[in-house]
Amino acid sequence: MADVSLRGVKKQFGALSVIKGVDLDVKDGEFCVFVGPSGCGKSTLLRMIAGLEDITEGSLAIGGNDMTSIGPSERGVAMVFQSYALYPHMTVSENIGFGLKMTGHSKAMIAERTAVAAKLLQLEPLLDRKPGQLSGGQRQRVAIGRAIVRNPEVFLFDEPLSNLDAALRVQMRTELSKLHQDLKATMIYVTHDQVEAMTMADKIVVLSAGKIEQVGSPLELYHRPNNLFVAGFIGSPK
Ligand code: ADP
Ligand code: MG
């Protein structure tokens, strides 16, 4: 587990200023949700924490260590990609263990961690199937399994449920909340879905056009939105 802190973080794509100075602390073990309209910079911010995008200006620390210029594989973070990122020719088990295999872990270690992840995610009966033989929700669980086996201190999710139908999204919300309780890991979760944010978050970060509008618990944002933007996005109608 680790806390994540951003100081004065900016991101520039050429002349385009996408993240305009973000200061944020995510506590150890917290479930933090980034919410905001499409194009406001949620994915960019998450990718900078993951190390998949350079930080143009400012700094990032994870577990108290400066990570601003550290490579993605050395940050102790794992990003959960959407289900389409599974390898179609590999079994569930192979998909889950693939990252560990690439980083030279022993077969015994891979088998052990895959078994733990499969149990947590209720994938045990499906380990020999190929992704094409799975439902959307099962595929998404495999994608989460790939992150779990790396034992990350911080999990990063970018709209992991957006490809799923409404009923499955509700079920997966509950499962992800349970997983968070089980693993007690720090999780940063991006969504543009207010209901997901309200039901899953310990802390919600409302973003608009590359800036934080407000940070607070679901109840704080709901009852005491700072401005009309937050109120319109999350807050109670007044
Ligand atoms: P969100 O995830 O909130 O929908 P993004 O972080 O994907 O928003 O994008 C924020 C802005 O940055 C958008 O205007 C997008 O077009 C732009 N952007 C994202 N990635 C790049 C890139 N690699 N090059 C140029 N512009 C980008
Ligand atoms: Mg996005």
Q: Whose CA is nearest to atom 10 of ligand 1?
A: 41
Across residues 150-158, what is the average pLDDT? Answer: 95
* % residues pLDDT > 90 (the chain): 83
Instruction: Give the model's pLDDT for residue 75.
Output: 94
Q: How confident is the model at residue 103 (pLDDT cuts 50, 70, 90)?
A: confident
DSSP E strands, the chain:
4-13, 16-26, 31-35, 57-62, 65-66, 77-80, 154-158, 186-191, 203-208, 211-216
In DSSP terms, which residues pair with 216 in a beta bridge? Answer: 204
Q: Looking at the predicted structure, is the pLDDT value of residue 92 above 60? A: yes
- ipTM value, please give it: 0.98
Q: How confident is the model at residue 225 (pLDDT cuts 50, 70, 90)?
A: very high
Q: Whose CA is nearest to atom 25 of ligand 1?
A: 13
**Mutation probe of ligand 1 site: the residue of 16, 44, 53 with most atoms within 8 A of C-beta:** 44
Whole-prediction pTM: 0.94
Taking all residues of the chain, what is their mean pLDDT, rounded to a whole number?
Answer: 93
Q: Looking at the predicted structure, is the pLDDT value of residue 236 above 60? A: no
Per-residue pLDDT tens for 108-122?
999 999 999 999 999
Helices 136-148 + 107-120 axis angle, to 10? 130
Ligand 1 geometric centre to CA of 139 (Å): 26
Ligand nearest to the CA of 159: 2
In DSSP terms, which residues pair with 188 in a beta bridge? Answer: 32, 156
Q: Looking at the predicted structure, is the pLDDT value of residue 238 above 70? A: no
146 compared with 82, residue with greater pLDDT: 146
Contact 156, 79 (CB under 8 A): yes
Please give the Cα distance from 143 to 148 (Å, whole number): 9
- Please provide residue 173's backbone torsions phi and psi, each rounded to the nearest 5 degrees: -55, -45
Contact 72, 52 (CB under 8 A): yes
Residue 92 exposed, middle or buried by CB count within 10 Å (0-12, 13-18, 19+): buried
Residue 61 exposed, middle or buried by CB count within 10 Å (0-12, 13-18, 19+): middle
Per-residue pLDDT tens for 10-36?
999 999 999 999 999 999 999 999 999
Contact 121, 144 (CB under 8 A): yes
Cβ of 79: how many Cβ atoms within 10 Å? 23
Ligand 2 geometric centre to CA of 149 (Å): 25
Nearest ligand 1 atom, CA 159: 2
Instruction: Give the model's pLDDT for residue 235.
Output: 62
Nearest ligand 1 atom, CA 38: 4
Q: Looking at the predicted structure, is the pLDDT value of residue 61 above 60? A: yes
CA nearest neighbour of 210 among 57, 28, 50: 57
Across residues 117-130, what is the average pLDDT? Answer: 95
